[in-house]
């Protein structure tokens, strides 16, 4: 693993000594792109990243799991469709649904894998304008009671990179109404809907709030000088500090 920092002074926000003991798994599938960035985000937040391989048959003793972005299996068949049946995914599905409610975050392709796994409802289809989209995207936090959003305020706007081709979130009207009624829309696009997603939805949660998926990339906005130029550039770090605080809180 590359040691911090790559440039300049990296500032880890960890204050609580228990945080460094928290282990966050980052899954790599064939074709995953953003696992290294996710690992770095976990470390910058103050936790210990654990590399997980799709063919692993055990999750070990991780306290949470990040399924990062990329093009697992080349997006063949449907984005996330083949990864969903990887040996490690069945372990993640079981752990997410267990009484322990393992926190799971799916970013971009990871979100697609979570919908294919039925951990989250709905699905993603090609962007309505058919083009790959890469931009800094403003999101509004709609729910800060999930395992991954506790460090944000409701209504807070954050800017993180967005980059996808199959990013149009769709579900039937009944499912969308239920998501709204239950407060499970966690993030909405602000200013412009970059892919035609229903009701400007950028991210959602399961009913228990331990599983969150979103298309934009918080792990690319965790370090000054590398993230979006609007705002602090580090507005994605809250995902990773949120889950740490959740883990530490649960272990008290």
On whether the CB atoms of residues 197 and 204 are closer than 8 A, the answer is no
Q: Choose between 16 and 118: whose C-beta lies nearer to other proteins.
A: 118
Neighbours of 59 (CB within 10 A): 18
On whether the CB atoms of residues 70 and 33 are closer than 8 A, the answer is yes
User: Is 76 a residue that touches other proteins (CB under 8 A)?
Assistant: no
CA pair distance 156, 182, nearest whole angstrom: 19
- Min dist CB 72 to other proteins, Å, is 15
User: Is 241 a residue that touches other proteins (CB under 8 A)?
Assistant: no
Q: Choose between 31 and 121: whose C-beta lies nearer to other proteins.
A: 121
User: Is 122 a residue that touches other proteins (CB under 8 A)?
Assistant: yes
User: Is 81 a residue that touches other proteins (CB under 8 A)?
Assistant: yes
Does the annotation count 134 as an active-site position? Answer: no
On whether the CB atoms of residues 134 and 161 are closer than 8 A, the answer is yes
Q: Choose between 73 and 240: whose C-beta lies nearer to other proteins.
A: 73
- Min dist CB 117 to other proteins, Å, is 11
Find the DSSP H helices in 152-225.
Answer: 173-181
User: Is 199 a residue that touches other proteins (CB under 8 A)?
Assistant: no
The residue behind tokens 């294919």 is 116
CA pair distance 111, 102, nearest whole angstrom: 16
User: Is 125 a residue that touches other proteins (CB under 8 A)?
Assistant: yes
CA pair distance 84, 67, nearest whole angstrom: 11
Q: Choose between 101 and 126: whose C-beta lies nearer to other proteins.
A: 126
- Cis peptide bond N-terminal to 5, omega within 30: yes
On whether the CB atoms of residues 217 and 160 are closer than 8 A, the answer is yes
Strand 123-125 and strand 168-170: the pairing is antiparallel
Residue from 130, 155, 174, 252 that binds other proteins (CB under 8 A)?
Answer: 130
Does the annotation count 108 as an active-site position? Answer: yes
Residue from 94, 128, 230, 250 that binds other proteins (CB under 8 A)?
Answer: 128
User: Is 170 a residue that touches other proteins (CB under 8 A)?
Assistant: yes
Q: Choose between 172 and 182: whose C-beta lies nearer to other proteins.
A: 172
Rounded to 10°, the helix 35-45/237-251 angle is: 60
DSSP annotation of 70: B
User: Is 36 a residue that touches other proteins (CB under 8 A)?
Assistant: no
- Min dist CB 130 to other proteins, Å, is 5
Catalytic residue numbers? 108, 217, 219
Residues in contact with other proteins by the rule CB under 8 A: 77-78, 81, 85, 115-116, 121-123, 125-130, 168, 170-172, 196
């Amino acid at each position: 693993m590359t040691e911090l920092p790559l440039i300049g002074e990296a500032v880890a926000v960890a204050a609580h000594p228990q945080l460094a003991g928290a282990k966050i798994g980052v899954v790599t599938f064939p074709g995953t792109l953003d696992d290294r960035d996710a690992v770095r985000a976990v470390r910058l937040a103050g936790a210990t990243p654990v590399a997980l391989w799709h063919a692993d048959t055990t999750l070990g003793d991780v306290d949470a799991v990040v399924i990062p972005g990329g093009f697992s299996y080349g997006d063949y068949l449907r984005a996330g469709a083949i990864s969903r049946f990887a040996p490690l995914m069945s372990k993640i599905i079981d752990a997410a649904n267990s009484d322990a409610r393992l926190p799971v975050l799916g970013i971009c392709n990871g979100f697609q894998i979570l919908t294919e796994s039925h951990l989250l409802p709905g699905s993603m289809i090609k962007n309505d304008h058919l083009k790959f989209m890469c931009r800094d995207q403003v999101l509004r936090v709609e729910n800060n009671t999930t395992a991954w959003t506790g460090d944000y305020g409701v209504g807070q706007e954050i800017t993180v990179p967005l980059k996808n081709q199959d990013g149009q979130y769709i579900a039937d009207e009944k499912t969308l109404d239920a998501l709204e009624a239950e407060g499970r829309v966690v993030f909405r696009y602000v200013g412009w809907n970059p892919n035609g997603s229903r009701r400007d939805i950028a991210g959602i949660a399961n009913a228990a709030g331990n599983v969150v998926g979103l298309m934009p990339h918080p792990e690319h906005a965790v370090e000054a000088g590398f993230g979006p130029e609007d705002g602090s550039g580090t507005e994605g770090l809250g995902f990773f500090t949120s889950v740490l605080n959740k883990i530490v809180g649960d272990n008290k």
